[in-house]
């Protein structure tokens, strides 16, 4: 078999490299901005990684400058009730992460991660600027409205449309950027090198830490300004932060490592399904006997992607790679119809996606719990005692305790829990185990939130005759539920980022990160649906419902306890799926290079 392309020649060259030469180039197939093999000392590593972490922190600051108080903007400025505002925030947040699939598709297929990140960050800045202008010119009338005491005038449908156009531009920009920046950051570390491989694992923890530290400023300083009615200042500060993030991102161009897009994954998946269907009656040999591997054209089209070793699950898909007499005739002509015969790696890509889906589905309910911080936790805090002497605490700023919890538990996990567990068991906690722990902590968070609401209602009933005022229970009783959510994130979301990135095929890395984002997306949609169903059922017989406009007349505690029960059921299903899951097995690059050299 001839060696036809650059990646193939590069692999052959590696077999004759001296030790010094091997230390110069990366071993994972990365290239620099000119498309040349990446030089280890001049590209990537923590120099590029830190740039991307700061970029993520600034972009997150900008995003949460809008998202953290959006529910209050909808109630105070737009004039929506609590349930409608919570639903709209859930839908908007869900749409943010739905757009992550679009960004991942463009990145993996055509544009590459750098171009995709740059384009969507520019859209993000545009959306924030549009929101700032729209709010200042049209929505905040009369001047000074939008705080807790001064209502805003009603708005025309045109102004409302401009508002929604702006916030959904923000959703498009941030959603398309998020999964790619995480994967692009991981690209800066050569997993074939032991030292850089450890740095790559650490990067995901620091990435999530940067995300939370960026939102800390939004939840405190910007949250305070917006809660006091200074929405335009908050939105323009977010715009400036997003612009700084984009400029900083572009400054790293000379240092970044890149991977060539692997082509349209939808066509590869479709080819496997069509080929397997066409050969439905073909008998499959045991193991991988009689299955087609790769030829020269596949080496070129794969752009350096690793082969995936055959597995015995989903055997019906192996028919797509089964060689029949018509395919044997095509080999004689030097041609292959990809819609009749696929490679083993192509088939295994589809199997990998099918194995990931049950795990992904089980993470959605966790995201339902997580999304309560941006909606019902804020509404719960708004009807508690929020003053310390004369200082008012914005309810949205309580999520700062979630952020501090994330920072603390990342340190505790990496420096305390993981070393102790490794010493006792001789192995680290797997990503699947950590995600399961995250679900357990999420159940505790919902029980805590429900318990706080039980006592809040008791104080509200005692403190006011008609229950129209806030409860005298201090908002600081919310701290445990925020801390527990933060701890669960370290296990669930950091574990998700590592799991989906490591288990996705080389041609679907951004898709792997997008699965984490779309889990949050569907969690928001399920939360919105659940609120709608609960309100429909609980308002029968002229009852106020569990989540009425005046929470003192409702039973938000029952909603939190319901989430705890649903998450417990989800945990049982998750454990079953995790035990069933089989990890992806790649052919090592050194083995592939040695095999190529002998051809």
* Topology annotation, domain 352-599: Growth Hormone; Chain: A; (1.20.1250)
Residue 412 CA to residue 465 CA, distance in Å, equals 47
Among the residue ranges 181-185, 214-218, 358-362, 428-432, the one predicted with the least confidence is: 214-218
Among the residue ranges 359-368, 439-448, 466-475, the one predicted with the least confidence is: 466-475
Q: pLDDT tier at 304 (50, 70, 90 boundaries)?
A: low
Name the 3-class secondary structure at 192: coil
User: What tokens were used for 316?
Assistant: 């019906």
Q: What is the mean pLDDT of residues 371-379?
A: 86
Give the residue extent of every domain in the chain.
40-260, 265-349, 352-599
Q: Which CATH class is domain 40-260?
A: mainly alpha
Closest CA to 511 of 356, 338, 368: 356
Q: Does the pLDDT value for residue 297 go beyond 80?
A: no
Compute φ and ψ for 372, nearest 5 degrees.
-65, -25
Residue 4 CA to residue 286 CA, distance in Å, equals 32
What pLDDT score does 9 carry?
43
Tens digits of per-residue pLDDT, 458-500? 887 655 544 445 778 889 999 999 999 999 999 999 899 889 8
Q: What is the mean pLDDT of residues 385-393?
A: 81
User: What tokens were used for 440?
Assistant: 């357990």
Task: For 295-359, give the DSSP string.
Answer: -HHHHHHTTTPPPB---SSSGGGGGGGB--HHHHHHHHHT---TTT---HHHHHHHHHHHHHHHH
pTM of the shown model: 0.80
Q: What is the mean pLDDT of the chain?
A: 84
Which comes out higher in pLDDT, residue 545 or 219? 545
Compute φ and ψ for 512, nearest 5 degrees.
-60, -45
Q: Does the pLDDT value for residue 7 go beyond 50?
A: no
Task: For 257-307, give the DSSP string.
Answer: -B------HHHHHHHHHHHHHHTTTPPPPSTTTTB----HHHHHHTTTPPP
Task: For 568-592, give the DSSP string.
Answer: HHHHHHHHHHHHH-----BPPHHHH
What pLDDT score does 6 carry?
42
Q: Does the pLDDT value for residue 212 go beyond 90?
A: no
Which comes out higher in pLDDT, residue 502 or 389? 502
Residue 188 CA to residue 599 CA, distance in Å, equals 31
Q: What is the mean pLDDT of residues 287-301?
A: 65
Q: Does the pLDDT value for residue 3 go beyond 80?
A: no
Task: State the angle between helix axes of 157-187 and 509-538 in degrees (0 to 180), rounded to the nearest 10.
Answer: 140
Q: What is the mean pLDDT of residues 248-274?
A: 89
Q: What is the mean pLDDT of residues 376-405?
A: 85
β-sheet bridge partners, residue 308:
586
352-599 and 40-260 share a CATH fold: yes
């Amino acid at each position: 078999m001839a060696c036809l392309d650059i990646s193939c020649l590069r692999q052959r060259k590696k077999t004759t490299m001296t030790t010094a030469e091997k230390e110069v180039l990366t071993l994972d197939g990365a290239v620099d901005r000119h498309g040349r093999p990446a030089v280890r000392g001049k590209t990537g590593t923590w120099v590029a990684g830190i740039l991307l972490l700061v970029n993520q922190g600034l972009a997150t600051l900008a995003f949460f400058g809008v998202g953290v108080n959006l529910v209050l903007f909808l109630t105070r400025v737009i004039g929506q009730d609590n349930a409608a505002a919570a639903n709209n925030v859930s839908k908007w947040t869900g749409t943010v992460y739905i757009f992550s699939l679009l960004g991942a598709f463009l990145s993996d297929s055509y544009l590459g991660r750098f171009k995709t990140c740059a384009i969507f960050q520019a859209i993000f800045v545009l959306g924030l600027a549009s929101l700032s202008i729209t709010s200042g010119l049209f929505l905040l009338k009369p001047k000074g409205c939008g705080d807790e005491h001064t209502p805003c005038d009603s708005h025309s449908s045109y102004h409302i449309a401009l508002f929604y156009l702006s916030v959904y531009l923000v959703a498009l920009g941030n959603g398309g950027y998020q999964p790619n920046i995480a994967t692009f950051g991981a690209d800066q570390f050569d997993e074939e090198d032991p030292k850089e491989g450890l740095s790559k694992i650490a990067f995901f923890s620091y990435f999530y830490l940067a995300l939370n530290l960026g939102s800390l400023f939004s939840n405190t300083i910007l949250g305070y300004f917006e809660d006091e009615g200074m929405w335009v200042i908050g939105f323009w500060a977010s715009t400036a932060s997003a612009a700084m993030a984009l400029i900083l991102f572009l400054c790293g161009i000379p240092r970044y490592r890149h991977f060539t897009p692997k082509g349209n994954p939808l066509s590869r998946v479709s080819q496997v399904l069509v080929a397997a269907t066409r050969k439905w009656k073909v008998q499959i040999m045991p193991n991988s006997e009689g299955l087609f591997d790769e030829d020269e054209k596949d080496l070129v089209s794969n752009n350096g992607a690793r082969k995936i070793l055959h597995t015995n699950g989903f055997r019906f898909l192996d028919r797509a790679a089964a060689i029949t007499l018509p395919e044997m005739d095509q080999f004689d002509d030097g041609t292959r119809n990809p819609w009749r015969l696929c490679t083993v790696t192509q088939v295994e890509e589809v199997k990998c996606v099918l194995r990931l889906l049950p795990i992904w589905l089980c993470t959605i309910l966790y995201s339902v719990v997580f999304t309560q911080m941006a909606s019902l936790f804020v509404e719960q805090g708004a009807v508690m005692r929020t003053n310390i002497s004369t200082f008012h605490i914005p309810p949205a700023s309580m999520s700062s305790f979630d952020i501090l919890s994330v920072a603390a538990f990342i340190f505790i996990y990496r420096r305390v829990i993981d070393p102790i567990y490794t010493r006792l068991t001789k192995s680290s906690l797997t990503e699947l185990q950590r995600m399961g722990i995250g679900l357990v902590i999420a159940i505790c968070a919902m029980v805590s939130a429900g318990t706080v609401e039980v006592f809040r209602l008791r104080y509200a009933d005692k403190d006011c005759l008609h229950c129209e005022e806030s409860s005298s229970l201090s908002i600081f009783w919310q701290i445990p539920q925020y801390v527990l959510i933060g701890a669960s994130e370290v296990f669930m979301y950091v574990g998700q980022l590592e799991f989906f990135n490591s288990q996705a095929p080389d041609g679907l890395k951004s898709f792997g990160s997008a699965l984490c984002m779309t889990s949050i997306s569907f969690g928001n949609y399920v939360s919105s649906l659940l609120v709608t169903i609960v309100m429909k059922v609980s308002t029968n017989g002229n009852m106020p419902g569990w989540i009425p406009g005046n929470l003192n007349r409702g039973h938000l505690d029952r909603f939190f306890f319901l989430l705890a029960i649903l998450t417990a059921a989800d945990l049982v299903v998750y454990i079953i799926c995790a035990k069933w899951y089989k990890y992806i097995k790649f052919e090592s690059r050194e083995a592939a290079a040695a095999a190529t050299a002998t051809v």
